[in-house]
Amino acid sequence: MELWQEELQQCVRTLDQLERFVAIENRDEMKRVLANMRLSITPHTLKLIDFANMADPLLLMAVPQAKELSITPEEMADPIGDDAKSPVPFLTHRYPDRVLVYATFSCSHYCRFCFRREKTGAASPGPSTYDMDIIEAYLVAHPEVDEVILTGGDPLTLLDAQIEDWLVRLRRVPTVARIRFHTRVPVNLPSRITDNLVEILRRYQDATHPIFIVTHFNHAREIATENVEAIAKLVDAGIVVRNQSVLLRGINDDAATLTQLFKTLTNIRVVPYYLHQLDLARGTNHFRVPIAEGIDLMRQLQGTVTGIAIPRYMLDLPGGKGKVPLSHPFVRQTQVSPPHREEGSGVVDANGLDWTADSPFGETVQYVEPT
Residues that bind ligand SF4 (CB under 6 A): 107, 110-111, 114, 116, 120, 152-154, 184
Beta carbon of residue 188, minimum distance to ligand SF4 (angstroms, whole number)? 7
Q: 3-class SS at 21? A: coil
Inter-residue contact 71 to 98 (CB < 8 Å): no
How many residues does the structure list for the chain? 371
What's the sign of the alpha-carbon dihedral 228, 233, 235, 241? negative
Give the span between the Cα atoms of 196 and 109, in whole angstroms: 22
Catalytic machinery residues = 94-95, 98, 107, 111, 114, 116, 279, 316, 323
Query: Which residues are bridge partners to 336 per DSSP?
Result: 353
Which residue lies nearer to ligand SF4 by CB, 64 or 153?
Answer: 153
Q: How many CA atoms lie less than 13 Å away from 151 in the CB half-sphere?
A: 19
Between 205 and 282, whose beta carbon lies closer to ligand SF4?
Answer: 282
Q: Measuring CA to CA, which residue among 50, 214, 190 is closest to residue 109?
A: 190
In the complex with ligand SF4, which residue's Cβ is closer, 136 or 154? 154
241: which strand partners? Answer: 213
Shortest approach of ligand SF4 to residue 157 CB, angstroms? 9
In the bound complex, what is the minimum distance in angstroms from residue 308's beta carbon to ligand SF4? 25
Please name the residue ranges forming H helices in 79-208: 117-120, 129-141, 160-171, 185-188, 195-203
By beta-carbon proximity to ligand SF4, the closer residue of 153 and 283 is 153
Least distance to ligand SF4, CB of residue 290, Å? 21
Please tell me the distance from the alpha carbon of residue 29 to that of residue 124, in angstroms, as a whole number. 23
Q: How far is the CB of 40 from ligand SF4 (least distance, A)?
A: 9
Nearer to ligand SF4 by Cβ, of 60 and 107: the residue is 107
Kindly list the strands in the beta sheet with 178-182, ordered across the sheet, starting from the edge strand earlier in the chain: 91-95, 98-102, 147-151, 178-182, 211-215, 240-246, 271-276, 312-317, 322-325
